[in-house]
């Protein structure tokens, strides 16, 4: 092969390689700084918090009611958290008096509104809740909820819960 042709071919290949590297670098940078990526991460964080916090908020055992109610309070923020803190002893006493045992599992949740800048989100959720009182058999029901979340530091916490008609 002709040395001049080989030099030209290597030069063209070098230019193509530099252009490809620049294009891939720009694409990577653009994807890493894309607003939809940040929104997706925030949405995933809200859903992860919802999984744990909604189950905690619907779980209590009269034998461990103090720790259970403390988990409720830890999962909440804002006025809702303050209200639960103020009602802490009443909730514990009620659970012990009625011998309530309630467990929950999250069936499904979806974020319906998200505003990452102020740190607010709303989601809809469906939970299976099993409740027994007085040592009786468990009754199972499905709870449909609208849940507001607010960012508290680096965590998303429940700021309001409303039951939705069944």
Dist. CA 45–CA 74, nearest whole Å: 17
Where does residue 99 fall: left (phi above 0), alpha (psi -120 to 50 degrees), or beta otherwise? left
Tens-binned pLDDT, residue by residue, of the chain (166 aa): 788 788 888 888 888 888 888 888 888 877 666 677 888 888 999 999 988 999 999 999 999 999 999 999 999 999 999 999 999 999 999 999 999 999 999 999 999 999 988 999 999 999 999 999 998 999 999 999 999 999 999 899 999 999 997 5
119 phi/psi in degrees, rounded to 5: 80, 50
With beta carbons less than 8 A apart as the criterion, state whether 129 and 106 touch.
Answer: no
Tell which residue, 109, 114, 120, has the closest CA to residue 144: 109
| pLDDT of 34 | 66
Report all structural domains of the chain as residue ranges with CATH numbers, in order of start. 34-163 (3.10.450.50)
The secondary structure of 8-20, three-state, reads HHHHHHHHHHHHH
Whole-model pTM?
A: 0.76
| pLDDT of 31 | 67
**Strand ordering across the sheet containing 139-152:** 60-61, 101-115, 120-132, 139-152, 155-163
């Amino acid at each position: 092969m002709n040395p001049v042709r080989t030099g030209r071919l290597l030069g063209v290949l070098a230019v193509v390689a530099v252009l490809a590297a620049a294009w891939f670098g720009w694409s990577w940078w653009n994807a890493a700084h894309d607003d939809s990526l940040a929104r997706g991460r925030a949405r995933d964080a809200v859903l992860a918090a919802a999984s744990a916090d909604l189950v905690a908020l619907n779980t209590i055992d009269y034998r461990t009611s103090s720790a259970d109610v403390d988990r409720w309070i830890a999962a909440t923020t804002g006025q809702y958290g303050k209200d639960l803190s103020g009602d802490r002893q009443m909730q514990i006493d009620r659970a012990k008096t009625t011998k309530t045992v309630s467990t929950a599992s999250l069936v499904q949740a979806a974020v319906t509104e998200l505003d990452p800048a102020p740190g607010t989100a709303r989601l809809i959720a469906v939970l299976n809740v099993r409740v027994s009182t007085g040592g009786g058999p468990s009754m199972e029901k499905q709870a449909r909820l609208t849940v507001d979340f607010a960012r508290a530091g680096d965590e998303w916490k429940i700021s309001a819960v409303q039951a939705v008609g069944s």
